[in-house]
Structure 1
């Protein structure tokens, strides 16, 4: 029995699996199963190399439908996206997008339809890569501009405040263990270990956000 599988790739804090599933269902898709990867780059990691992407390759069978929000969920690399779509089409899988309602079906034998389909695949894959590269370049430019103005570049906001840092330093001075300090402060053990390794750097980081 054929299935409709939604593949979601969640790479930022403003994306959720539920949101992508809700969008697909609002577009009329009846989703039988959701396969999702979290925090995986679509630029540097091919679909078949992602943990859940591998499962997707194993799950999809002839007659199944693969639903994605847009082709950029499959990847942000032109070659990877085109190879992925063509691989699934050869298997008899139909790929459909929620945005723009595109359908990539390998069953067509009409030369003109094939030409249009392949051109569309190429265009969408190229657009996904171009968008990813533009976003990455904008981020690099923004970070570089902020670094030139040291007052603006503060790095990642620390998870601790001045009071918590003081407690950690005091407990470290009493030779308390990282797990005990973590429990007392509510900070992760990793954060405690990072502060223990370089208290001065932890203080500097916090000072940037207090200014």
Structure 2
């Protein structure tokens, strides 16, 4: 049996090393790392990514697939649900670094199965909803920025797109500000500001991303994440 970490980064602000460090700090003994760089989680299925599709050949029954959060598998609701269930059907266990969630197909108890499947559906839906909300906020911020004078962009956010996504995902699961701050490396005050005004945080980030496009890896026209 082996433990494989799958990491995905969609911008140059994100790093594979950070996701590996988080996994090891959470207690996972990683045997192998499979990673995709500059790949959209919303527009591209796991099976269509250069490295993501290798997981289907690498993983065997009894293996453990580790991801920071389900959004690393994808941000498309149907694709994430189908992917997790496909791996479970093959006897592969999926574990998340954040909140230590475990998904496997071993349980035969109908109640436990219902709870497990409900969590899969909920988290997959949250992954897509967050991606869509962030994309829309970025579009709105870009449109506003293009119409307004560009002499002043406002204060540069202390977080990048990856950190903002992680904060919002963890807030959705009920995590506290202190826990999120430790996980993301941001201050507790920054977490609380994002929590109280999420749209403002997204617009601020979108303005800076629009004016500094060289910081981003190539992305699809439909997904800036």
Global fold match (TM > 0.5): yes
**Distance in 1, Cα, partners of 2:6 & 2:78:** 19
Query: Is residue 2:55 matched to residue 1:56?
Result: yes
What do the CA deviations read for 1:1-56 (whole angstroms, capped 9, x no partner)? x1000000011222111110110000000000000000000000000000001111
- 1:118 Cα offset (Å): 0.1
Distance 1:109 1:158, change over 3 A: closer
What do the CA deviations read for 1:184-209 (whole angstroms, capped 9, x no partner)? xxxxxxxxxxxxxxxxxxxxxxxxxx
- 2:197 is matched with none
**Distance in 2, Cα, partners of 1:146 & 1:158:** 14
- 1:109-128 correspondence to structure 2 within 5 Å: 109-128=108-127
**Distance in 2, Cα, partners of 1:28 & 1:117:** 22
**Distance in 2, Cα, partners of 1:157 & 1:108:** 49
* Gap runs ≥5 in structure 2: 152-206, 215-225
Q: Name the SS of the counterpart of 1:109 in structure 2.
A: coil
**Distance in 2, Cα, partners of 1:158 & 1:50:** 23
Query: Is residue 2:145 matched to residue 1:146?
Result: yes
- 2:98 is matched with 99
- 1:43 is matched with 42
- 1:150 Cα offset (Å): 4.9
Q: Name the SS of the counterpart of 2:29 in structure 1.
A: coil
What do the CA deviations read for 1:78-110 (whole angstroms, capped 9, x no partner)? 000000000000000000000010000111101
- 1:175 is matched with none
Q: How many residues align?
A: 158
- 1:156 Cα offset (Å): 5.3
Greater relative contact order (Cα < 8 A, sep 6+)? 2
- 1:69 Cα offset (Å): 0.1
**Distance in 2, Cα, partners of 1:6 & 1:151:** 42
- 2:8 is matched with 9
Q: TM-score, normalised by structure 1?
A: 0.71
Paired residues of 2:71 and 2:127 also in contact (CA < 8 A): yes
Q: RMSD of aligned C-alpha atoms?
A: 1.7
Q: TM-score, normalised by structure 2?
A: 0.67
- 1:75 is matched with 74
